[in-house]
Chains A and B, each alone.
Chain A
Amino acid sequence: MDIANQLQRQFMDYSTSLHREGFVDDQFTQLQKLQDENSPDFVVEVASLFFEDCEKLINNMARALEQQQGVDFKQVDASVHQLKGSSSSIGAMRVKNVCIAFRSFCEAQNREGCLRCLQQVTHEYSLLKNKLQTLFRLEKQILAAGGSIPIVE
């Protein structure tokens, strides 16, 4: 039980830090609330889906922006829009903010700006992925130790 408590405390701290640093926002908390006996892996599933989506979209955008002849800004914009939607659904605040900036560059058809934003998005995405994966690992450890995942308000 000691281990479980320890882990739980660790989890709480980590969660709070994520929120504080702006990696996730309230929406993520909402998602966590949706997890119950009927869907015990809800958050993990949504996160996995988000990561897949992200990678796909980032690749699309990269490919579109690499076009030397003429960048199809509409396509890029569409991808960014999708990414924005996904990130706001999962509560990835930082990613979402970058997307907002990205969109304005797309509208202005600024290739440099877009590339810069793409870089930033990729960076934020990988950071978030790491953080979330750590969080999920903590969760698994807590469950293995026989404890329950505390709810962070």
Chain B
Amino acid sequence: MESCYCIEPQWPADELLMKYQYISDFFIALAYFSIPLELIYFVKKSAVFPYRWVLVQFGAFIVLCGATHLINLWTFTVHSRTVAIVMTTAKVLTAAVSCATALMLVHIIPDLLSVQTRELFLKNKAAELDREMGLIRTQEETGRHVRMLTHEIRSTLDRHTILQTTLVELGRTLALEECALWMPTRTGLELQLSYTLHQQNPVGYTVPIHLPVINQVFSSSHAVKISPNCPVARLRPAGKYVPGEVVAVRVPLLHLSNFQINDWPELSTKRYALMVLMLPADSARQWHVYELELVEVVADQVAVALSHAAILEESMRARELLMEQNVALDLARREAETAIRARNDFLAVMNHEMRTPMHVIIALSSLLQETELTPEQRLMVETILKSSNLLATLINDVLDLSSLEDGSLQLELETFNLYAVFREVLNLIEPVASVKRLHVSLNLAPDLPEYAIGDEKRLMQTILNVVSNAVKFSMEGSISITAFVAKSESLRDSRAPEFYPVPSDNHFYLRVQVKDSGSGISPQDIHKLFTKFAQTQSTATRNSGGSGLGLAICKRFVNLMEGHIWIESEGLGKGCTAIFIVKLGIPGCLNESKLPIMPRMSTTIHSQIAFPGLKVLVMDENGVSRMVTKGLLVHLGCDVTMVSSSDECLRVVSHEHKVVLIDVCVPGIDGYETAMRIHEKFTKHHERPLIVALTGNTDKVINENCMKVGMDGIVLKPVSLDKMRSVLSDLLEHQVLFEAI
């Protein structure tokens, strides 16, 4: 055994000490080996440890230290050179590594320290964010509360509920001590405590409206902090505690009338209510900005909800009113209908009752006329007959009155002798007038045409009515009847501003004035004259009878004749003048209501189109002659329809056709019968087309036959162009054409 290089022990090997050293070395080695293992294990576990290299070094250092101590175990006894070499190697390595580690640590430790500070900083930040989060959450909560509150408020249209809900919710959301609403009184001079959160029934607590603090709140749309000592805020009994902060906000009370279309409501003439909110006393809470905003929003919502409630109230009221009116109208309508029916029944009955005696009178008078009478008797009977005829007409018209009022009455226009009408009236009125010793004079202007076109019967009725009124209401004196053609200046009367007479070539305006020297009429009664059944209550007229219908009927007739009737009187006792103007047609002129005649125009050199558009129906069995006739008519510009049989003719003929040409010489087809059937088909005189017979020969028989069936003319075939032209123009002008050869 080689001896080792260790130093000779200075003391003898102590067994105990040696043993202890041996054991400690062993344990150190163990520890030194296990520590790196643990380090490795934990580093492996944590993935982010940034100093691996350091750990490796550290591990190596520890391992080597351990190795050293382990090897030391062998050096306690005599050991070989190999052991010594190994020991030395281990020590050297250990030294190297530990120095390296020491150097490395110098670099690392400051870094590690700075990580620490950053961690601290982040922790602070996290804490701060937490706090802010808490704040936001509270705001979010309050926002949600506001929405819910709004929803609650808007879901009801009941005023009381709206306000109560507002206060309750606000109180809950903002954790208020007290919340109150002051409404303006009816007079508008005071604010009355209307709703509070905690007091159930606030007793009429009023505060004048013009306090400076209140004005301050009303003039701003924001929530304003007010002093807890002002009258509106003194809602709690004063206690020993410090009252919390108070905020007040205005609630606009929008009125229905404030809403104009296309116009936002003006805020100047507004009524406001006051909402006062009190934070809990003895809390250090302050009003945050967001809480104030919340309050303002709520106040606006309340205003809107209240206005909706008001609108609803209004509309309910209006609807009720409308329903009431409807019911009333319905009742009135039913009453009116009953009245009309009653009147109609009455008229129907009276009609019969009145007509029967009339018929008797007329019949017997006619019979009487046939017997032997002296001239005076005859005259009397004739007058009776005429008067009764007139009366019968009047009775008819009483029943026509309803049709007059409907406007369904039509005048029967025909040519009549105007002079004869006046003479007739005079004859009828003479006996009555002479009995009353009244002198009646008739004055017809020389330019008055002898013949006129109009409704003779009704014109006579009108004149007679007016004249008989004149006679009736005059006790003495004279009646003068004047008739003349009204010129344009005298047509327009200031009393009749709606009467616009239109002068034209085929009409003239007949003006009739009946002046009497009777009792006259006071100016205020004049307008009543033309109303039905209304009578002037003067003693002179009380026993003169009359249904009061006369002038009303006359007025309607005159209106139908496109005229005007009125009465002038200077007063009671001064007589009166009845004047009326009616429009009559002039016979012999082109009457535009009948057929359109176009003026002759020569459009081209070779043809003269005389009757453009005139609708003509030609009935002829013979194809060739039919074509020739058509050619003639087409050449004259007419619109020709051809038919070849009677049935076809009747089928096709309409009121648009102005002329029908029928060939009466065709055997087998009865042109006469066709004419008769056309007459039957068109009962109205002015709708019926003119019927002309085309015949190859004329003799008396054919002539008579044509006249009998009511044809308007005969034309001899063959027809030349000129003949056709002159035939058509004569026909259309005179409505009748007898014999064109």
Chain A interface (Cβ < 8 Å from any Cβ of B): 26-27, 30-31, 33-34, 36, 38-39, 42, 45-46, 49-50, 53, 77-78, 81-82, 84-91
Contact = CB atoms under 8 A, between A and B. Distances in A.
Contacts of A87: 624
Interface in B563-605: 604
Interface in B611-668: 621-625, 627-629, 631-632, 634-635, 665-668
A82 B622 contact: yes
A88 B720 CA distance: 12
Contact of A89 (B606, B624, B667, B720): B624
Contacts of B696: 84-85, 88
B717 interface: yes
Given A30-B721, A88-B718, A39 B631 contact: yes
Contact of B624 (A26, A38, A50, A81): A50
Contact of A36 (B629, B635, B668): B635
Nearest to B668: A78
A33 B720 CA distance: 10
Nearest to A91: B718
A45 B627 contact: yes
Contacts of B635: 34, 36, 39
A85 B604 CA distance: 32
Could you tell me the dominant secondary structure of chain B's interface residues? loop
Nearest to B634: A39
A78 B624 contact: no
B503 to A, nearest CB: 40
B718 A89 contact: yes
Contact of B622 (A30, A33, A89): A89
Given A27-B720, A81-B665, A89-B624, 9 more contacts: A26-B718, A27-B628, A27-B718, A39-B635, A49-B627, A85-B666, A86-B625, A89-B622, A91-B718
Residue of B631, B632, B666, B717 ringed by the most chain A CB atoms within 10 A: B631
A26 B632 CA distance: 14
7 contacts: A26-B718, A26-B720, A27-B628, A30-B720, A31-B631, A49-B623, A85-B666
Given A27-B718, A34-B635, A36-B635, A85 B667 contact: no
Contacts of B621: 82
Nearest to A38: B634
Interface of B: 604, 606-607, 621-625, 627-629, 631-632, 634-635, 665-668, 696, 717-718, 720-721
Given A27-B718, A34-B721, A39-B631, A90 B607 contact: no
Contacts of B717: 88-89
A78 B667 contact: yes
B627 A46 contact: yes
Contacts of A46: 624, 627-628, 631
Contacts of B628: 27, 31, 46, 89-90
A89 B623 CA distance: 10
B625 A85 contact: yes
B623 A53 contact: yes
A81 to B, nearest CB: 6
Residue of A27, A30, A50, A84 ringed by the most chain B CB atoms within 10 A: A30
A42 B631 contact: yes
A87 B668 CA distance: 20
Contacts of A38: 634
Contacts of B668: 78
A86 B606 contact: no
B632 A34 contact: yes
A87 B717 CA distance: 12
A77 B607 CA distance: 39
B624 A86 contact: yes
B45 to A, nearest CB: 118
B623 A86 contact: yes
Contacts of A86: 622-625
A90 B717 CA distance: 12
Contacts of B666: 81, 85
A40 to B, nearest CB: 12
A36 B606 contact: yes
Contacts of B721: 30, 33-34
The 8 closest A-B pairs by CB, nearest first: A89-B625, A86-B624, A85-B622, A89-B628, A34-B631, A27-B718, A34-B635, A89-B624
B631 A90 contact: no
A89 B665 CA distance: 13
Contacts of B720: 26-27, 30
A85 B331 CA distance: 75
A81 B606 CA distance: 35
A131 B628 CA distance: 20
Contacts of A33: 721
A71 to B, nearest CB: 17
B625 A81 contact: no
A89 B668 CA distance: 20
Contacts of A82: 621-622
Contacts of A50: 624
Contacts of B667: 77-78, 81
Contacts of A89: 622, 624-625, 627-629, 717-718
Contacts of B634: 38-39
A27 B696 CA distance: 13
Contacts of A78: 667-668
A85 B717 CA distance: 9
Contacts of A85: 622, 624-625, 665-666, 696
Contacts of A53: 622-624
Contacts of A42: 631
